[in-house]
Amino acid sequence: MTDYLVYDVFTATAFGGNPLAVFPDASTLPDDLLQKIAREFNFSETAFVYPPDDPVHTARVRIFTPTTEVPFAGHPLIGTALALHDLGRGDDMVLELGIGPIPCSVRKGLARFTTTAPLTIDAHPGLAEVAACTGLLPGQIRTDRHLPIQAGVGLTFVMVELNDTAALSAAHPVTEAFRTAAALWPAGMDFATFLYVRDGAQVHARMFAPLDNIPEDPATGSACAALGAFLSQLEGQSLTLLINQGADMGRLSHIQVETELSDGLCAAIHVSGRAVRMMEGRLTL
């Protein structure tokens, strides 16, 4: 039997944010069951914690969506850091992920992680295909600042700026269009698409990944990190973004992203958020 915890992440309120299952000690679980366990929970991600490969670090973390293992994700990092902190693992830790070690800290209930993974740009998907995926008209996509771009900092997303919050609320995932687009532009998750509207530091966002069994995600820290890195390099300055996501799902999330620019490149991305413990239980396999 293996204990697990469930946290709502990127929220200070129960039933908000993005649910996460955390197994604080997954060392006895067979590898071939991890994906099945994640599918059973059917959250956006499930985190499995192991002893670190490097003894100076705190732990090694494997992250699974309902369909695949991913090397990096934001809300599992925030939720796992807070879970380990609640279990007495200290205020500062280094968690080993598929993209390398990630320093994390917890201060007065606020968790923060920092990644120095470089921004990678995979493709510039077509405007018509992106609109079809999101149930929008091409004219509802804002293009004066940038065209849709497929990029990431460890996990790839299609980042799309919209004209206004009305377009953001009207968007919805069209699965067959996602299948077509994913075949045209394969990278990372299956054309996972991050829509946003920005007013200065304030950002309203939604994320669709129906081919990964995530029709909509209430909070996507890895996409928010990618957006921060991309906009920082696009504008040539360090940025602070206050991102609200999940409002249209009734699961409002608050994600803070801070970037550090050096020689025109994003040298570091800091992502912060809170989480609420919702459940604890025991896997009886």
CB-based contact 233:202 (threshold 8 Å): no
CA 163 to CA 27: how far, in whole Å? 47
Whose CA is closest to 47, among 55, 56, 57, 37? 37
Using only the alpha carbons of the chain, give its radius of gyration: 18
H-type alpha helices, 29-150: 31-41, 74-86, 127-133
Which string of DSSP letters, residue by residue, matches 167-211?
HHHH----HHHHHHHHHHS--TTTS-EEEEEEETTEEEEEEEEGG
How does DSSP classify residue 141? Answer: B
Q: Which residues are catalytic?
A: 45
Q: Is 22 exposed, middle or buried (0-12, 13-18, 19+ CB in 10 A)?
A: buried
